[in-house]
Structures are given as C-alpha cells and as structure tokens.
Structure 1
Amino acid sequence: MFRVDRTANRISRLTQKRFGDLALRERDHLQEWLVHQPDALGEDLLILQKEFDGFDETRERLDLLALDKSGNLVVIENKLDDSGRDVTWQALKYAAYVSGLTRTQIVDIHQQYLDRHCGGKNATQSISAFLEVEDLSEVALNPGNGQRILFVAANFRREVTATALWLISRGIAVQCFRVTPFAMGDELLLDLQQIIPPPEAADYMIGVSSKEVEETAIQGTQKRRHDLRQQFWTKALERLRADGVKLFANISPTKDHWLNAGSGVSACRFQMIFGQSEARVELSLARSEGAENKWLFDQLFTRRAELEAAFGHAMEWRRMDDKKQSRIVYAKDFDGYDKDSWPDMLDWLSEHIRKLEIAFSEPLNKIGRAINLQDESED
C-alpha cells in the first residue's frame, strides 16, 4: 500500500505491520472492529452474537455469529497474524452446530446479545428491520444448507486456502479475507481484502457450486408467499382500474408485501400493504433526510382532526422518532393468506386508498411546495 503525495507527484510505501507487534488482540480489537463495522466484509450483515458458546456438551466459542440479507447464518472466525492449521475444521464444526438452530433459537440468541451489549432492544424487531420485512414469519431463517463461513486473518496457510477452495467446489459458501495493518506516521490503517474466492470470479464460482442449494431455497414457504403476493397484487390492480382509481395506474404487481404510488412530493408515497393478518393503507414519509420526514409529519399532525374527518376514520400516527421514516396508517384485520378473504380485502383497499389520496394529496403537496420539496419527477 502506498501514500500519494500529489504536490510532489510521488508515492511512498506505507509500513506493513504485524498485529502482534502492535499489541493488538483478536477479541479486544479485530473482533470489535468487525462487530461495529460488519460491512467491512463486503456486504450488510447483522451481528447476532459474539463469543457464542451455546453448543451442547462443548466449551467451544464461535467468534461471531451473523445473519445475511437472505436469512442465512454466517459463521465468522477471526485470527490475527496467522490463520493456523485447524481453523477450517473449527469453523466447519461451528457451521454444523448452528445448522440446526430454529427461528425461535436465533431470536433468543440475538436477544441475549442485545440485552448484554445494546441496552435490551427487541430482537424480533431488529432482525425484521434488517431483513426489511413486516413480519419475521415471512422469511426463512437459517434455511436448508445455507450456512456460510467467513475467515479473517493476516495470513492464510496453504492447507487453509486449499481446503476453502475445495469446500466452495462442494457447494459450501466460504470466503477468506486478508486483513493487514499499515502505519502512516502515528496513524494506523487497515486493509481488508477478500482473497477467496477472488472477487472477479466470485459470482461464477459461488453460482456454480451453490446451484443446488439455491434451487432448494427457492422452493418452500418463501416462494409460495412471493407467488401469493404476486397473485394478490394482480387482482388488486385490476380492481383499482375497474373502480376508476388512477393512483396505481402505472404500477406493476410485485412479490413484495407493499405497493407504492407517488404523492407528488418525492419519497412520500401512498402505500397499500398486504399482510398475513391485516391489510393497510398508509402515507409513508421516507425522504433521505429524517428531519424532513419529521417536519412533514408534524405539519400534517397539526391538521389531524381535519384530515381524519376527510378520510372518515381515526388513524394511527407513527412518528417513529428512532427511525428515519414516519407513517400515517389505517389498518383492518384480514386473513391475507386465505384467498377466500381476498374479495373483502380488495373492496376495503380500493375504498380506503382512494379516501387516503383524497384526504392527504392537497395538504401534503401544499406543505411540500412551501419548502420546495417537490421534484420534477416522482421517483
């Protein structure tokens, strides 16, 4: 690694260091860096637990247990200056141990972590927010053979890299990251690079080797629910067109549990929600600046009585101070996964999304114009 001196138009080599020489320790330093910056490993990961020792009849400890965006468990093993010879066997044992964890156990493990390190936040909400789902039952946690292994070390022995490549060829998702500290004066820099599989070949290697796992994961509950939502939204859009509701005229059916339509104020959307136990209509304030969402919400809230009278019902006003977004919601209980309920749900959604648009479009746009929040085109 080099430092660029643009004034002199020269480069100078940074001094590569060893963790041991810097008195840095695996658990106190490298592990904590990754806990607080897991995307340093090239993707969004949710740390479920650290120093996990919940294995029956063994005192072994897994460095980090994480969750990826597909609901797969990720075993992360950290070493400092040398990977050691046995790290692959160690990680395989841990992957085997966690392969049997159920949804309830995963939530309990994460709750223990949150209670100890994060002030007792709710584990179900934490995982749901990370996976971007309304209800955790909508996704498969720890599906099939989807467990993954990540190794992090400054140097990898040949037996480790050879084993990792062999495991990849057998459909086991393994990645190796080389972590290297560098000195620049009194400042310490860290280089973290994926070396196995090589980034330029990762998609091909992983795609070929995990084809069977992927095909298996596609089947089952999640796929059925995606198909069900696609069918529902197809019928919903047909119903809206028949009722003359133009708000969603240019929207196509999706596999998601929501359907968005623009309001005229960028990133402030009218939404219909298809849930397992309810249907909802809502105004979602989701601009990139959280302060703008809260300001818009507060401005609308001052007119709550007028807006609810125009809508025809009392609504749930969710300012959500701990989140960037805010929402104004009206919901009704339905058994969404029972197709016999769909005619009533479609009636209800068609009626209330129309009422929501009529009640909120003009006030929202008027407020938006007052501070120039409108964009030339709705996203």
Structure 2
Amino acid sequence: MYLIDKKNNRISKIEEKTFSELGFKEREHLQEWLANEPAIFGEDLLIIQKEFDGFSDTKERLDLLALDKDGNLVIIENKLDDSGRDVTWQALKYASYCSSLSKEEIRVIFQDYLTSCGSGETAEEKLCEFYGKEYDEISLNKGTGQRIILVAAKFRKEVTSTVLWLMNYNIRIQCFRVTPYKKDDKLFLDIEQIIPMKDAEDYVIKMAEKAQDDIMIENKLKSSDALRLEFWTALLKEMAKKSDLFKNISPKKDNWINAGSGISGVPFTFAISKAYARVELYIDTGDKTENKKLFDYLHQSKEAIETAFEEALTWERLDDKRASRISSSIDKNSYDRENWDFIIPELTERMVRFEKALRDYLKKYKK
C-alpha cells in the first residue's frame, strides 16, 4: 500500500504490520471493529450477537452472528495474523448449530445483544428497520441458506483448499484478508475478499451451482440405473413363468429390453418411463421404406390382430421418422415401486398376448 503525496506528486510506501506487532488482540480489537462496521464486508449486514454461546451441551463461542438482507444467518469467524488450521471446521460446526434457530430464537438472541450493549431499542424494531417490513412479514433463517465469513491476515493452504472444495457443494463461504499498516503515528486497515475473488464472484458461484447440479444429475442417473435393473430382474422372473420369449435376455440399466421376433431390427420390446409401461413392436430395419412396408402389411390386418390381442393397440406409422411402432401402454409411473405389483404381472401378460397376436403375421411376412 502506498500513500499519495499530491503536493509533490509522489507516493511513499506504507509499512505493512502484523496485529501482534501493533499490540492488537482478536476479541478486544478486530472483533469490535467488525461488529461496529459490518459494511466493511461490502454489503448490508445486521450484527445480532457477539461471542454467542447459546449452543446446547457445548461451551463453544461463535465470534459474530449476523443477518443479511435475504434473512440468512451469517456466521463470522475472525482470526488475527494466522487463520489456524481449524477455522473452517469451527465455522461449519457453528453453521450447523445455527441452522435450526427459529425466527423467535433469533429475535431473543438479538434482544440479548441489544440489552448487553445498553440499547433501549427492541430487536423487533431493529429487524423491521433493517428489512423495511412489518415483523410478521419477515422470514429468517430459511432452509440451508446459512453463510460463513472467515477473516484473517493470513489463510493457511489447508483452509483455502477446504473452502474452495466446500463451495462446489453450494456452501456459501467467503474469506477476507485483513492487513494492518502503519505510517508515522497513523494506523490503517485494509480488507480484501480473496475467496471467491470479488471480480469473479458471480462466475465462481454459478460454476459451483453447475457442479452441484451435475453431481445431483449423476446421482439421480445412478439411482435410476439401479432401479431399472431391479425392475427388469423382477419382470424377467415373472415373464419366465409365462413364456420363453425373453428366456435368454438379461436385466439391464436401460429403460427398455428387447427380444427377437424372427425379423432383424424388429424386436418385441418392454419399455418403461415415469409416465408409462408398455409392450411394443419397434420396427427399424435400418431402411425407412422397408419399415413402412412392414407396418402397412401388419396394419392391413389391424382388426384381426387386435381381436387376437383382445383390446385395441396404438399404431404409429411415424411418417416423419425412419421407424414405426405398434404398442400397448399402461399409464402408470414405472419408477414407483408401489406400482410394480400391478405393472409387472399386467405387462408380462400383455406381452404374451401381444407376441401371440403378431407371431403368424411376422412369419408370413418373413417368407
């Protein structure tokens, strides 16, 4: 940091110091500065408690507790010259402790703070003033919106590494570096947000949200894969009791399984989704003209086929696509296990009737 001498058009270096060199203490000085000037963090924060120890079964003390303009609790942990190695863990513990605080508990905590400061104001009045709303309209500490602010002159690598990793999981955490300076008999304090870097904060947050979305999608996919594997295992076991059509087919993670019909590219298929479960003849020989020819051949016998199947079928020529399809659907969520006791017996029974109704026509066409 440099001091500008406007008169002589020169700059002179201001000496960087440590808090210990200047005789400053964590609780007595730095904490008081932050509590009395929360705007130093670049946003409107309302300090509602210092040295908060209202955690059951523990004597631990949270340095500063604040509220932001969105009603989120902000846990502020301040250190002096060295962050230490445990500050992230401490802050996470305090955030977890505070996550269950109700609006009324927060009001009481704030009122205790105001009383200890000798203020004649009520917490309710201060909250209404801060949010510009009636007290009944104010919502505090919603869900998992708790935030963490870490303050220190120097952050250890294990701390910054942990913070960056936590941000990938939507933990809202910031690191501010504070540096004292001395010039003659004057003292200065500089504060800088280093994680996430202020200029890149929106980008970093969006990337963290994207990373979390990707993880959630991946977990859902893995969960869906396991569920489909379980479903097909149960369905094939039931199918084996009624027909040999799928006897050489193994369970898989896809949302469909096939068995041959005697014509290449025209399998009998079980297909499932969150909206349906169905049996189908999927016609895709690789040649659009051939696909439509086979579909039309079968469609000529639509009435006889449906009579043999004992109910109407869905006939989809799909002129704008290469393939065609004939199917029968059950309008139920196949991903809900509670529906399986109905879907599996019904679907396998339909496949038996479906294959029987189409078998002779496919054999004749093949010849």
TM range (shorter): 0.5 to 0.7
2:176 alignment counterpart: 177
Task: Give the counterpart letter for 1:25 in structure 2.
Answer: K
User: What amino acid is aligned across from residue 111 of structure 1 in structure 2?
Assistant: Q
Cα shift at 1:203: 1.2
CA contact 1:172–1:210 (8 Å) conserved in 2: no
Match of 1:108 in 2: 108
Q: Deviations over 1:52-89 (max 9, x none)?
A: 00000000000000000000000000000000000000
Show the counterpart of 2:11: 11
C-alpha distance 210-116 of structure 1, shift in aligned 2 (>3 A): farther
Shift of 1:5: 1.4
Q: Could you tell me how far apart the structure 2 residues matched to 1:131 and 1:169 are?
A: 30
Residues 90-123 of structure 1 show CA distances to partners (whole Å, capped at 9, x for unaligned) of 0000000000000000000000001110423110
The Cα offsets for residues 351-377 of structure 1, whole Å up to 9 and x where unpaired, read as xxxxxxxxxxxxxxxxxxxxxxxxxxx
**Structure 1-normalised TM-score?**
0.55
Which residue identity does 1:191 align to in structure 2? D
Alignment of 1:1-379 (within 5 A): 1-133=1-133, 135-210=134-209
Provide the rounded CA distance (Å) in 1 between the counterparts of 2:51 and 2:149.
15
Residues 252-294 of structure 1: per-residue CA shift (max 9 Å, x gap): xxxxxxxxxxxxxxxxxxxxxxxxxxxxxxxxxxxxxxxxxxx
Deviations along 1:14-43, one digit per CA (max 9) or x if unpaired, are 000010011100111101111110000111
Distance in 2, matches of 1:74 and 1:206, equals 17
Larger radius of gyration: 2
Letter in 1 for 2:106: I
Q: Which amino acid aligns with 1:147?
A: Q
CA distance in 2, matches of 1:119, 1:95: 27
C-alpha distance in structure 1 between counterparts of 2:118 and 2:40, whole Å: 20
Matched letter for residue 19 of structure 1: F
| CA apart distance, 1:140 | 1.9
> 2: CA distance between counterparts of 1:36 and 1:13?
29
Distance in 2, matches of 1:112 and 1:37, equals: 20
Aligned to 1:239: none
Using the alignment, how far apart are the partners of 1:212 and 1:196 within structure 2?
Answer: 17
Structure 1 residue 11 displacement after superposition: 1.3
Structure 1: gaps spanning 5 or more residues: 214-379
Q: Secondary structure at the match of 2:21?
A: helix
Distance in 2 between residues matched to 1:118 and 1:35, nearest whole Å:
15
Distance in 2, matches of 1:210 and 1:91, equals 21
Whichever residue aligns with residue 202 of structure 1, its letter is E
- Give, in angstroms, the shift of residue 212 of structure 1: 11
- Post-superposition shift, 1:138? 1.5
Answer yes or no: is the 8 Å Cα contact 2:168–2:211 preserved in 1: no
